[in-house]
Structure 1
Amino acid sequence: MSQYYSHDVLIIGSGAAGLTLALNLPDSLRIAVISKDKLSNCSTFWAQGGVAAVLDNTDTVESHVADTLVAGGGLCREDAVRFTVERSREAIQWLIDEGVPFTRDDSASEGSGFEFHLTREGGHSRRRIIHAADSTGAAIFNTLLACAQKRNNIELLAQRVAIDLITEQKLGRSGDRCLGAYVLDRCTGEVDTFRARFIVLATGGAAKVYLYTSNPDGTCGDGIAMAWRAGCRVGNLEFNQFHPTCLYHPQAKSFLLTEALRGEGAILTLPNGERFMPRFDEREELAPRDIVARAIDYEMKRLGIDCVYLDISHKPADFIRSHFPTVYERCLEYGIDITKEPIPVVPAAHYTCGGIVVDKAGRTDLPGLYAIGETSFTGLHGANRMASNSLLECFVYGRSAARDIVEQLPLVAMPDDLPSWDASQVTNSDEDVIIAHNWDELRRFMWDYVGIVRTTKRLMRAKHRVRLLFAEIDEFYSNYKVSRDLIELRNLAQVAELMIQSAMQRKESRALHYTLDHPRQLPVAFDTILVPPSADD
Structure 2
Amino acid sequence: MEQNYDVVIIGTGVAGLYGALHLDKRLKVLIICKRDITLSNSSLAQGGVAAVTRPDYDDVRYHIEDTLIAGGHQNDLAAVTKLCEEGPKEVRHLMELGVDFDTDAEGKTHLTLEGGHSKPRILHHKDCTGREIVNKLILNVKKQENITIWEHSIVVGLEKRGDGFAIDALYDDEHHDNEHCFLAARYVMLCTGGIGRVYRYTTNSAIATGDGIALAYQMGARIKNLSFVQFHPTAFAGNVRERFLISESVRGEGAKLLNCHGQQFMTRYDPRGELAPRDVVSKGIMAEQKRVGSDKFYLDISYKDPKFIKERFPMIYAALLVEGYDLTKDPIPVYPCQHYLMGGIDVDLNSATTVDGLYACGECSHTGVHGANRLASNSLLEALVFSHAAANHINARSLTEPASYPDPAFPADRGRNRIPKGIRTEIRAIMQEADFVVPDPEKAAAGLARILEIRRMLLDGGFMMSHDYFEALSLATIACLILQDVSEKGDAAPGAR
In structure 2, the partner of 1:18 is 16
In the alignment, the residues of structure 2 paired with residue 480 and residue 345 of structure 1 have an alpha-carbon distance, to the nearest angstrom, of 40
- Equivalent pairs counted in the alignment come to 493
> What residue ranges of structure 1 are gaps of 5+ in the alignment?
109-114, 517-537
Q: CA deviation at 1:416?
A: 3.6
In structure 2, the partner of 1:92 is 91
Q: Structure 1 residues 106 and 225 mapped into 2: Cα distance closer, same or farther (>3 Å)?
A: same
Pick from 134, 138, 147 the counterpart of residue 141 of structure 1: 134
In structure 2, the partner of 1:503 is 486
Per the normalisation by structure 2, the TM-score is 0.96
In the alignment, the residues of structure 2 paired with residue 297 and residue 466 of structure 1 have an alpha-carbon distance, to the nearest angstrom, of 26
* 2:199 pairs with 1:210: yes
User: 1:49-448, aligned counterparts within 5 Å?
Assistant: 49-57=47-55, 58-107=57-106, 115-168=108-161, 177-187=163-173, 188-250=177-239, 253-427=242-416, 429=417, 431-432=418-419, 434=420, 436-448=421-433
> What residue ranges of structure 2 are gaps of 5+ in the alignment?
none
Q: CA deviation at 1:197?
A: 1.3
Secondary structure of the residue aligned to 2:487 is helix
Q: CA deviation at 1:480?
A: 2.7
In the alignment, the residues of structure 2 paired with residue 37 and residue 190 of structure 1 have an alpha-carbon distance, to the nearest angstrom, of 15
Q: CA deviation at 1:304?
A: 4.3
Moved more, 449-458 or 31-40: 449-458
Report if aligned partners of 2:167, 2:408 keep a CA contact under 8 Å in 1: no
In structure 1, the partner of 2:496 is 515
In structure 2, the partner of 1:458 is 443
In the alignment, the residues of structure 1 paired with residue 286 and residue 145 of structure 2 have an alpha-carbon distance, to the nearest angstrom, of 50
Q: CA deviation at 1:69?
A: 0.6
In the alignment, the residues of structure 1 paired with residue 239 and residue 453 of structure 2 have an alpha-carbon distance, to the nearest angstrom, of 32
Q: CA deviation at 1:349?
A: 0.5
In the alignment, the residues of structure 1 paired with residue 304 and residue 145 of structure 2 have an alpha-carbon distance, to the nearest angstrom, of 48
Q: CA deviation at 1:302?
A: 4.2
In the alignment, the residues of structure 1 paired with residue 376 and residue 200 of structure 2 have an alpha-carbon distance, to the nearest angstrom, of 22
Per the normalisation by structure 1, the TM-score is 0.89
Secondary structure of the residue aligned to 1:359 is coil
In structure 2, the partner of 1:7 is 5
In the alignment, the residues of structure 2 paired with residue 178 and residue 390 of structure 1 have an alpha-carbon distance, to the nearest angstrom, of 30
Q: CA deviation at 1:266?
A: 0.3
Q: Which string of whole-angstrom CA distances, capped at 9 and with x for unpartnered residues, describes residues 102-147 of structure 1?
A: 1112236xxxxxx200001000000000000100011000000011
Amino acid corresponding to residue 406 of structure 1 in structure 2: N
Q: Structure 1 residues 419 and 398 mapped into 2: Cα distance closer, same or farther (>3 Å)?
A: closer
Q: Which string of whole-angstrom CA distances, capped at 9 and with x for unpartnered residues, describes residues 27-55 of structure 1?
A: 22211111011111100111000000011
Amino acid corresponding to residue 279 of structure 1 in structure 2: R
In structure 2, the partner of 1:35 is 33
Report if aligned partners of 1:161, 1:183 keep a CA contact under 8 Å in 2: yes
In the alignment, the residues of structure 2 paired with residue 64 and residue 369 of structure 1 have an alpha-carbon distance, to the nearest angstrom, of 30
Paired-residue identity, %: 38
In the alignment, the residues of structure 1 paired with residue 292 and residue 426 of structure 2 have an alpha-carbon distance, to the nearest angstrom, of 27
In the alignment, the residues of structure 2 paired with residue 390 and residue 32 of structure 1 have an alpha-carbon distance, to the nearest angstrom, of 24
Amino acid corresponding to residue 233 of structure 2 in structure 1: P
In the alignment, the residues of structure 1 paired with residue 464 and residue 151 of structure 2 have an alpha-carbon distance, to the nearest angstrom, of 20
Secondary structure of the residue aligned to 2:257 is strand
- Root-mean-square deviation (Å): 1.5
Q: CA deviation at 1:419?
A: 4.0
Report if aligned partners of 2:166, 2:409 keep a CA contact under 8 Å in 1: no
Q: CA deviation at 1:217?
A: 1.0
Q: CA deviation at 1:4?
A: 6.0
In the alignment, the residues of structure 1 paired with residue 445 and residue 84 of structure 2 have an alpha-carbon distance, to the nearest angstrom, of 39
Q: Which string of whole-angstrom CA distances, capped at 9 and with x for unpartnered residues, describes residues 331-378 of structure 1?
A: 011110010111001111110100111111111111111101111111
Report if aligned partners of 2:14, 2:384 keep a CA contact under 8 Å in 1: yes
Secondary structure of the residue aligned to 2:328 is coil
